[in-house]
Structure 1
Amino acid sequence: MTALTAERMTKGAYPASLGAQDWRTAAIAMLSVRVIQGFIYWGGGSRRFIYAPAKLDPTRHQWMANKFQTAMPGALFGLDHVIAYMLQHFWLLYAGVIIFSAIELIIGIALMVGLMTRAAALISIGLSIALMLMFGWQGATCIDEWTMAACNLAMGATLMLGGSGAYSLDNVLLRRNPALAERPWFRWGGGSLPLPMTESGFRKLGLAVLAFVLIFDIGTYSYYRGSVVTPFHGGPVSPTKHHLTLSKVALLSDGSVRFHVYLDAGTPEAPAHVMKAELLGADGKTLAIWNTEALTKLPASAIANDFAYNKFKASDYGLVATMGAMATVTLPPVANAQPKGATTLRLTDVSGHHFIGRLTVAAGAS
């Protein structure tokens, strides 16, 4: 596109060529996509900075770290370790939450008003990918988090290619300074004009973006739920059924039992309740038992949580934990019990599900 054509476009005198007319028509057709995509991200940032600031207050239960921790069990590509590291380093966690929220707010506004639209859309793609990799596995009745991120990814990709050639601040900037039409940074980052590519080059770019969106969206859907080339399944990490992983189970010399426990599946909307703990021998016989009353009376000193947010704690109904909680728990000695020879610790939740941990430290360990 020549500078003369760009100038004519900015003044509203659109050339008669079918390509320019179609570009303008497509820009108007995408207005709803652009504005709503922007509103989605603006809404995420504005809720934290303006309408619900408790989400950014570490002293409140709405603090975003709690939501962040719920994503840890099902996060992909090692992001669970990144989340755990951030949860244990407050300065990094707080900076991350503030920066992420600010980016959402700024990108949302930029898309709604059409300012540096392609650059904003590209950043929104990055946000969608990050959210899908962390939260995509969640969703109790359907794959809610995946659906939102998948749609946002496709919308961002569309806006990155199509720009904002109608009713945008990019157009205002170009009208005031037609020379911007010849600046590569404005053509690639703004949205008033088509990308500075041949028709063949643009088609190849569009198909490459489509391939990425299809592979990423359908691939993650297949991983989380199947229903593509395999039958439907509940996912490697269940978003509905709580699961506890036990490790480092040790029978101490005084008859107490120490173990590490991780709530690594289930819905964050409801806590998990552990109603009973048992030491079992090789023959499956119960050698020691801690019932609901005993678990309810555990002192705070007996539960060392790995994180300061979602935790294990004693409640009126045994041990209670929220999604992503990790802790080292010490069960006191049981009077008249004979725990020697125990090989297994078994926890039972409120639904009657059992979770097993093998003793890894012999009796007499400290």
Structure 2
Amino acid sequence: MPGALLGTDHIIAFLLHHFYLLYASLILFSAAELITGLCLMAGFLTRAAALVSIGLSVVLMLTFGWQGATCIDEWTMAACNLAIGATLMLGGSGAFSLDSALLARKPALAERGWFRWISGALPLPMRSGIFQKFALAVFAATVIFNVATYNYYRGSVVTPFHGGPVSPSEHHLSLTDGVVLPSGAVRFHAYLDGGTPAAPLDVMRAALKSHDGSVLELWDGTALSHLPASAISNEFAYDRFAPGQFGLRAQMGAMATIKLPAISAAATIGNHRPAKLELRTVNGKAFNIAVSAE
């Protein structure tokens, strides 16, 4: 979900909130890949299968390009498959395809426009000049989409190489909606939107600080590891925030509203005007959010 392009992250989030749709979509997507692949290998309805293959490739490239070694192979295969699909859509299938065998068995199909559009046994029903322009447009669209998405994810085209809009190695927390409740408890929304899914993020320390940097309230690893279940409201049933052995633990893509209970009376907003909440991870990286009274 983090780093997915053109709003596809919202689609993924919607599916994660509706398991029955997620389950159905996984089956349908896998079935589409299987059927399309079989049609392309056999040369059956080649152009229609190639067009579906292009659509599948575009979806994969928009959703799987950012996670480094975990998913860059998916992006690479999809980028190659996009070019292959475009080529087969234009050129059709070979003499030993099922499309050609079907045409040999039923020559009348050559006069059917729909057959020429969706199979690969015959050239597309276009004049030579129009086909040339169409082929160049498909070629340009394929190259631009492949190169532009790679440049966005990793650079090396018109910009230097970079780690991507979302780091595939270093965890990153986006913190929003920070408030200090009248009781002194702190509530905030956290989203682990960067880093490797191969390892969780561990928050070892949370501190509520005033404008001058003095600590008003401190939750150490022991306090975070003993947060009650009611203090963490996860948005997804899969990757989650949860108390860990040494603090607060989160899996890649986890999103939750978290409430840190007041330990002392020092954090009331009226007396000390706290300015920010700081979360510090096991590797010493700090993430901050401004907080205000509810």
Map of 2:7 onto structure 1 = 78
Write the deviation string for residues 220-245 of structure 1: whole angstroms up to 9, x where unpaired: 11111111111111122222211101
Q: Give unpaired runs (5+ residues) of structure 2.
A: none
Cα distance in structure 2, aligned partners of 1:159 and 1:91? 35
Map of 1:164 onto structure 2 = 93
Map of 1:225 onto structure 2 = 154
Closer/same/farther in 2, CA of residues 126 and 141 from structure 1, 3 Å limit: closer
Aligned to 1:186, the other structure's residue is in SS state: helix
Q: What are the within-5 Å matches in structure 2 for residues 182-193 of structure 1?
A: 182-193=111-122
Map of 2:287 onto structure 1 = 355
The partner residue of 1:133 within 38, 48, 62 is 62
Say if 2:66 and 2:168, in contact at 8 Å, map to a contact too. Answer: yes
Map of 1:150 onto structure 2 = 79
Map of 1:316 onto structure 2 = 245
Say if 1:138 and 1:145, in contact at 8 Å, map to a contact too. Answer: no
Q: Give unpaired runs (5+ residues) of structure 1.
A: 1-71
Shift of residue 181 of structure 1? 1.5
Q: What are the within-5 Å matches in structure 2 for residues 22-171 of structure 1?
A: 72-140=1-69, 143-171=72-100
The partner residue of 1:299 within 222, 228, 241 is 228
Say if 2:64 and 2:72, in contact at 8 Å, map to a contact too. Answer: no
Q: What are the within-5 Å matches in structure 2 for residues 235-254 of structure 1?
A: 235-254=164-183
- The 10-residue stretch of structure 1 (193-202 or 241-250) with the greater mean CA deviation from structure 2: 193-202
Say if 1:138 and 1:144, in contact at 8 Å, map to a contact too. Answer: no
Shift of residue 285 of structure 1? 1.6
Cα distance in structure 1, aligned partners of 2:80 and 2:137? 18
Map of 2:275 onto structure 1 = 343
Shift of residue 265 of structure 1? 1.1
Write the deviation string for residues 120-151 of structure 1: whole angstroms up to 9, x where unpaired: 01001001101111112221489433222211
> Percent of aligned positions with the same letter in both sequences?
62
Closer/same/farther in 2, CA of residues 222 and 291 from structure 1, 3 Å limit: same
Closer/same/farther in 2, CA of residues 142 and 85 from structure 1, 3 Å limit: closer
Shift of residue 321 of structure 1? 1.3
AA at the equivalent of 1:101: S
Say if 1:137 and 1:145, in contact at 8 Å, map to a contact too. Answer: no
Map of 1:25 onto structure 2 = none
AA at the equivalent of 1:88: H
Say if 1:306 and 1:326, in contact at 8 Å, map to a contact too. Answer: yes
Aligned to 1:73, the other structure's residue is in SS state: coil
Say if 1:260 and 1:326, in contact at 8 Å, map to a contact too. Answer: yes
The partner residue of 1:215 within 127, 138, 144 is 144
Say if 1:312 and 1:321, in contact at 8 Å, map to a contact too. Answer: yes
AA at the equivalent of 1:341: R
The partner residue of 1:281 within 210, 216, 225 is 210
AA at the equivalent of 2:178: V
Map of 1:261 onto structure 2 = 190
Say if 1:344 and 1:356, in contact at 8 Å, map to a contact too. Answer: yes
Map of 2:259 onto structure 1 = 330
Say if 2:184 and 2:265, in contact at 8 Å, map to a contact too. Answer: no
Aligned to 2:174, the other structure's residue is in SS state: strand
AA at the equivalent of 1:348: R
Shift of residue 194 of structure 1? 2.1
Map of 1:204 onto structure 2 = 133
Aligned to 1:267, the other structure's residue is in SS state: coil
Kindly report the root-mean-square deviation, in angstroms, between the aligned alpha carbons of the 2 structures: 1.7
Say if 1:115 and 1:170, in contact at 8 Å, map to a contact too. Answer: yes
AA at the equivalent of 2:176: S
TM-score (norm 2): 0.93
